Structure 1
Amino acid sequence: MFGMKFFFYSLEHPPVHIHVRNADGTAKFEINPVRLIESHGMKTKDLVLAEALVEENKELISTKWIEFHGK
């Protein structure tokens, strides 16, 4: 989506969060509330877009996290 890959790892830890990767770097966002936890190399405009996409899809992200990792 927009040249970004959104994913989580199989051995994740709370709180619910998602990783984002694009050609320039990586970032990690907490889901509730949506906030940037860390980034490495991603441009500001890409971080803004990624955060908006995470906000728009936070219910889906949370559901998939719980399906995979449990509560």
Structure 2
Amino acid sequence: MPTVLRWGPYRAFFYSADSAEPAHVHVRNGDMEAKFWLHDLSIAVNVGFRPHEIGSIIRHLRAHQPDLMDAWNEHFGN
């Protein structure tokens, strides 16, 4: 699970077994986790985050979207 971004209580990472799926990132804070598609930063799965937190996370991911895509491509060899 390579961590690709940290801010505040959040950690963005990839599961190495997810290479067959479209580019995405998981974000965790404690026992809450969400999965975001990187092409449009839509939410794929949310376990525990409140809507206002999701909005804040998406804004932060958007600011780093090119770097996240680069990290995906580097990690998965695309």
- Is TM > 0.5 for Structure 1 vs Structure 2? yes
User: Is the CA contact (8 Å cut-off) linking 1:16 and 1:32 kept in structure 2?
Assistant: yes
Q: Which residue of 2 aligns with 1:37?
A: 44
Distance 1:59 1:11 in 2: 22
Q: Which residue of 2 aligns with 1:18?
A: 25
Which structure is richer in relative contact order (CA contacts within 8 A, separation 6 or more)? 1
How many residue pairs were aligned?
71
Q: 2:15 aligns with which of 9, 14, 22?
A: 9
Q: Which residue of 2 aligns with 1:66?
A: 73
SS in 2 for 1:15: coil
TM-score, normalised relative to structure 2: 0.82
- When the two chains are superposed, the root-mean-square deviation of aligned CA atoms in Å is 1.2
Segments of structure 1 that go 5 or more residues without pairing to the other structure are none
TM-score, normalised relative to structure 1: 0.90
Q: Which moved more, 1:6-15 or 1:28-37?
A: 6-15
SS in 2 for 1:26: strand
Sequence identity percentage = 25
Runs of 4+ in 1 over 6 A off after TM superposition: none
Segments of structure 2 that go 5 or more residues without pairing to the other structure are 1-6
